[in-house]
Chains A and B, each alone.
Chain A
């Protein structure tokens, strides 16, 4: 078993006539924290959403957590591909900008939903695990609260616990703090930092430069649907070669 969690080759995606990903390559090793930066419209969110097929790429080869799907432009996914996709999704988790908690379920029920209805874990066992995860993100006492009663930061922490419940091999973060007040961001970033320190493999689309500098192993800079720069975080921030990247970073 190799240590490569994500190996994506030549992935392309267009929305209508508008290409958003142009033959993108991406590799993420186990335990790596990779931050994707770039101006809006650069394709970074689409790239992330392509990895678990919330946006189906048009073409390319994706190998994620040992599940390989090859897409050829104009051809439908085979039944075998779809089985690979279901398993791939169970081994990855996604944290959304808008949280997407289930509003009809309590915090604890949100966390255990996947365990109970996807992994078929016995309810009692799931509840115990769910409570531990809520404790881990500092929300043990909110187990019985519905999302409507939680702050944005709390919602996002529940969403992270929900992702963790499935024991993912990789977590995708899609601008996890962009919908939050500056004050609430820190509590979410703290949880993310703890995960990074614990060796979780993470792929993070964000505008949080401090998080990128402090927690990322590697930074990928995208623009116009291509990866412009792929460097270790240290190199990326020390050697800001390339006019466009300087221009981008100047604003932070």
Chain B
């Protein structure tokens, strides 16, 4: 297995970077979009709330694979042609934003309304209150589900292999096909996915500890 690993390393090396790039990239972009969606869902303007609600319902209610295929194979019919990596990044972003918006929203809504009242009573504006009072408290509440979402997202990048993105799963398929050593290749990349996610889990635990300390 070691010899196979060394032999496929040049290919695997870039593939790991593509996987990480897709996963972390979609996480960052999806968080930005998800935050907007979460705030819209809390808006007092009905139409904005509806738009956000429909967005979540569509992108959470359909399979990620279908979304990837729609963007990569479907959009060209309307003159929008995206290369495989941008297609995958877009699909992963839209998909994760739907889930993350719900995580953020539940975090924001879990903060005691008295926190808003105390801020408003001293003349603080909406955005200042969000930034300085609500977000720091909501972040602590939302961290565990958001961490799980990131881990799921890293694994979901494997679906990009279906549209020829050369990430880890794709490389395993290719090397497997050339050498007929599928078992070892898929075990190997399974291990790499697991390792990446272990690092993320440790990071999450660290952040949780840091954020919780002051509350006890």
Contacts and interface: CB of A to CB of B under 8 A. Distances in A.
Contact of B115 (A100, A114, A148): A100
Interface in A113-152: 113-114, 117-118, 146, 148
Interface stretch (B62-70, B119-127, B180-188): B119-127
A54 B123 CA distance: 11
Contacts of B120: 52, 54, 89
A89 B118 contact: no
Contact of B117 (A93, A100, A104): A100
A98 interface: yes
Nearest to A114: B122
Contacts of A230: none
B137 interface: yes
B114 interface: yes
Q: With a 10 A CB-CB cut-off, give which of A104, A118, A146, A166 has the most chain B CB atoms.
A: A104
**Which 4 A-B residue pairs are closest in the complex by CB-CB distance?**
A90-B123, A89-B123, A100-B114, A100-B118
B147 to A, nearest CB: 19
Contacts, number: 64
A87 interface: yes
A101 B125 CA distance: 17
B39 interface: no
A176 B136 CA distance: 26
A93 B122 contact: yes
Interface residues of A, number: 25
Nearest to A86: B123
19 contacts: A52-B120, A52-B121, A54-B120, A86-B125, A87-B123, A89-B121, A90-B122, A93-B121, A94-B118, A98-B114, A100-B115, A100-B118, A101-B118, A103-B214, A114-B123, A114-B124, A117-B132, A118-B128, A166-B123
Contact of B128 (A89, A117, A162, A166): A117
Given A100-B117, A118-B128, 14 more contacts: A52-B120, A54-B117, A54-B120, A89-B120, A89-B121, A93-B122, A101-B118, A103-B214, A104-B137, A114-B123, A118-B124, A148-B216, A162-B122, A166-B122
A121 B120 CA distance: 18
A102 interface: yes
B133 interface: yes
Interface of A: 52, 54, 86-87, 89-90, 92-94, 96, 98, 100-104, 113-114, 117-118, 146, 148, 162-163, 166
B140 to A, nearest CB: 8
Contacts of A94: 117-118, 121-122
A90 B121 CA distance: 8
B123 A96 contact: no
Contacts of B124: 114, 117-118
Chain B interface residue count: which class? 20 to 34
B215 interface: yes
Contacts of B121: 52, 54, 89, 92-94
B216 A118 contact: no
Contacts of A96: 114, 117-118
Nearest to A89: B123
Interface string B196-216: 000000000000000000111
Contact of B122 (A89, A98, A103): A89
Contact of A146 (B114, B125, B133, B215): B215
- Among A52, A101, A103, find the residue whose CB has the most chain B CB atoms closer than 10 A: A103
Contacts of B216: 148
A57 B77 CA distance: 55
A222 B184 CA distance: 80
Interface string B94-133: 0000000000000000001011011011111100100011
A166 B121 CA distance: 11
A52 B90 CA distance: 46
A152 to B, nearest CB: 14
A72 B116 CA distance: 26
Nearest to B128: A117
A104 B134 CA distance: 10
B125 to A, nearest CB: 7
Contacts of B137: 103-104
Nearest to B136: A104
Nearest to B129: A117
